[in-house]
Structure 1
Amino acid sequence: MRKTFIIFLFISMYSCNGSAQKKDKKENFSVTKTEAEWKAELTPEQYYVLRKEGTERAFSSPLNKNYKKGVYHCAACNTPLFKSEHKFDSGTGWPSFDRAIEGNVAYATDYKIGYARSEEHCATCGGHLGHVFNDGPKETTGKRHCINGVALKFVPAKE
């Protein structure tokens, strides 16, 4: 009986998610569409990353090595998210920035891989962008916004 109780207690402790892990990411975004509308407007890769919180393969985005002047917008709703002057080569295989355009990126905590990470979403449509880490350039913000290139649309600066 005692063994059964201990096993039951052990299973109960590790099978329940804490309320912090169940943080609801559903917010009130100004751009909302049905899943069918998002699927019709986005490529399959964009849909997977932006709407299903997927991750593109490292080094697969042409935006990773794009160093032109301009602004990176959300591929789903065209909200400006990152400026080219804040982009740097992190060597990770994803476009990286040391800061976002203030107010245009929303943050949530992601526990999908067993520990907490700061997840980034477009503050306008809720599209998943990537994650932010504290291993960016020390001479600027110390942050590395590691962003899926497929979630971005580059708008070149006017010359």
Structure 2
Amino acid sequence: MRHAKSDWSAPSLPDHDRALNARGRTAARALGDWMRARGYHPDLALCSTALRTRQTLAGLELDVATRYERQLYNAEPATILSVIKSVQGANCVLVVAHNPGIAWLAQHIVKSRPAHPRFDDYPTGATLVSDFAAPAWSDLTEKSGTVVDFTVPKDL
């Protein structure tokens, strides 16, 4: 999941400290409702330490164990994948991070892309649900996932 829409009204604020705007808070709640309605219940969340990613995760209103990872802040795809590969003991993992890294990873971790018109540009709040046949998170590779679902806040 890419974080929801952030607030740009204070351009002098450090990027790491940018909060969600009203639209982003609404989108986070809608994405959480969408996840619950479809039965997507992660048992671990990996979340960037940036304020907007933490607020997105909180807005989802999920009861989920969370690891806040500084290295997910504006991370390259390889770094995001490395953090995911470090997971042990979780069956379903939610990653809340930033573009362009999260978009590139989403586009390259699945065997085939969903037909959704917004998948390639991966707007704020974009959420990919995919299944992996790998026996452990450490075994994930590019093109190893099967798309289960994909949405963006405007769909909700």
TM (norm. structure 1) is 0.25
Q: Could you say which structure has the higher helix fraction?
A: 2
Q: Could you say which structure has the higher strand fraction?
A: 1
Rg larger in structure: 1
TM (norm. structure 2) is 0.25
